[in-house]
Amino acid sequence: MVQMRADVLVVGGGLGGVAAALAAARAGRSVILTEEFDWLGGQLTSQAVPPDEHSWIEQFGATASYRALRNGIRDYYRRHYPLTERTRAWTDLNPGAGWVSRLCHEPRVAVAVLEEMLAPYRGSGRLTVLQPYRPVAAATDGDRVTGVTLAHRDRDERIDVVAPYVLDATETGELLPLTGTEYVTGFESQAETGEPSAPAEAQPMNMQAVSVCFALDHVDGDHTIDRPAGYDFWRDYKPDFWGDRLLSWRSPHPRTLEIVERSFTPNPDDDPLSVNADQRVNPGDGNLWTFRRIAARRNFTDGAYGSDITLVNWPMIDYFEGPVIDVPNASWHLAKARELSYAVLYWLQTEAPRPDGGTGFPGLRLRGDVTGSPDGLAQAPYIRESRRIRAEYTVVEQDLSLAVRGEHGVVHYPDSVGVGMYRIDLHPSTGGDNYIDVGSCPFEIPLGALIPQRMENLLPAGKNIGTTHITNGSYRLHPVEWNVGEVAGLLADFCLTRGESPRAVRGTPRLLAEFTDRVSAAGVERRWPQIAGY
């Protein structure tokens, strides 16, 4: 078996993993970064989800390196794409002119930019990327991880990696059970957290839906896929709490749970520069075509794009029939989630009501080339909720809720290592819950949420930090995941340099002050400015 060593091992190449690897490599550390899928970038790329961001993202509220990623994406379009002159001059270029984000774009562009950011460290040999590999075993000695075994996805090949610091940046917190690290899944009880929206008893198998996204355009011809094997089930599927069939333009409004009807009009002749992707002003999901559109053909010169490209991450593809974490049939549920996405596509092509009174849009064409997957869907499922460490500090609803905080606003943690902002946005769950949507204040990221209660050299670097089922709904988004990963990479370097543990850094005022200064110097915003009107 091949054996490798590095200063820092980052397992998982999503946004948090890439940010962690960059931070540690820039600090001069040798780093091994692993990824299970063909693309680095996780939810932004292999999961094909345009960035979910807060309303002030263009001005503040993100790390300098995350801002470099966003700027890099825009620059890539300006350098390589046939943009109209008007679009090219658009400072806050939104290539897809989608309403969900100020930066809706094709996932492959983000892959190129992430690879560009990593390239100097790969070239120098400081960074080694192992792809496609996933963790299958780990060795521990007391409260320390001594090694991780990785398996190749496609062939019988394993690698043992040893590193003084191991960062878990997997989408589901895969290293936590492998290393015996204490963790929680699903819904905590109100008795444990005191959260107003928590149930009386813990529900560890009650987790947010997963979604298998896909990209579509609309062109001449009939591009209808073969009828999926489980289509009849999904066409007639009507969850008790949903209020209508899942395959319908009608679904609950996330905030009010009132049944609302959305529209679907491919290729509207709209002006991309008129889109105001500010969720405070307009949620933007009235026309599902433009909601998560990732390529607006009017942004490009005539004839460059025969159609817009839209990304399907809509309520009807949310799979909540069963969890995919800590269950023996996880692969079966993931297969059913993919089947649901195919069923939605087939329904769109054959039975979906059209504005003209007809049914079906046979011109809808699956764009697997856009998502980089031979089966046409996203390479990886969109995982909203991970295993979460039992942390030194757990962020609870009372820390974020606008109803609870009111005029007091942001909770200021003495160990803040970043900021974020998003409503507490929970999708329907495997326990039969409908949407849970709670208004939130801007928030900070406490270092204590990155430190396990017991383990000394294992750090979370993504959605597996010390949040609850509820607060994960705010902390799971793109810029926060990047911020968490970046700080985990900085912390690993700091601890190696000082010969101190993460726990000691947080618990020693002198070390904490020194580390937070280091974080700020790296371009991580630790405090929010005064903001009116969340």
What does the pLDDT average to over 255-278?
93
Q: What integer pLDDT is reported at residue 278 of this predicted model?
A: 83
- Measured CA to CA, the distance from residue 122 to residue 132 in angstroms comes to 16
Q: Are 172 and 373 in contact (CB under 8 A)?
A: no
Q: Is the pLDDT of residue 284 over 80?
A: no
The model's pLDDT over 344-368, given as tens digits with 9 standing for 90+, comes to: 999 999 999 999 999 999 999 999 9
What average pLDDT score do residues 109-113 get?
Answer: 98
In this prediction, residue 409 has a pLDDT band, given cuts at 50, 70 and 90, of confident
pLDDT for the residue numbered 406: 86
Domain(s) of CATH 3.50.50.60: residues in the chain? 2-50+105-187+384-521
Q: Report, as an integer, the average pLDDT of 204-210.
A: 98
Q: Is residue 281 very low, low, confident or very high in pLDDT (cuts 50, 70, 90)?
A: confident
What Rg value do the Cα atoms of the chain yield, rounded?
A: 22
The per-residue pLDDT for range 430-441, each reduced to its tens digit, is 999 999 999 999
Give me the mean pLDDT over the 425-429 stretch.
95
Task: Say if CB 461 and CB 168 are below 8 A apart.
Answer: yes
What is the per-residue pLDDT across 505-521, written as a single tens digit (0 to 9) for each?
A: 999 999 999 999 999 99
For residue range 81-108, what is the model confidence (pLDDT) as tens digits? 999 999 999 999 999 999 999 999 999 9
In this predicted structure, the answer to whether residue 177 has a pLDDT above a threshold of 90 is yes
The structure tokens 């290592």 sit at 417
Give DSSP secondary structure letters for 56-97.
TTTTSSS-HHHHHHHHHHHHHHHHHS-B-HHHHT-TT--TT-
- Condensed to tens digits (0 to 9), the pLDDT of residues 235-251 reads 999 998 898 899 999 99
The model's confidence at residue 285, banded by pLDDT at 50, 70 and 90, is confident
Q: How confident is the model at residue 410 (pLDDT cuts 50, 70, 90)?
A: confident
The yes-or-no verdict on residue 534 having pLDDT over 80 is: no
Alpha helices in 268-386 (DSSP H): 288-291, 330-350, 368-371
Q: How confident is the model at residue 283 (pLDDT cuts 50, 70, 90)?
A: confident
* pLDDT at residue 290 tops 80: yes
> Percent of the chain scored above 90 by pLDDT?
94
Question: DSSP for 145-189?
Answer: EEEEEEEESSSS-EEEEE-SEEEE--TT-THHHHHT--EE-SBPP
Instruction: Give the integer Cα–Cα distance in Å for 402 and 476.
Output: 18
Instruction: Name the pLDDT band for 532 (thresholds 50, 70, 90).
Output: low
pLDDT higher than threshold 70 for residue 180 = yes
pLDDT of residue 243: 84
CA nearest neighbour of 398 among 336, 467, 335, 345: 467
Would you state the pLDDT for residue 533?
A: 62
The mean per-residue pLDDT over the stretch 295-323 comes to 97
The residue-averaged pLDDT of 293-300 equals: 98
CATH architecture of 2-50+105-187+384-521: 3-Layer(bba) Sandwich (3.50)
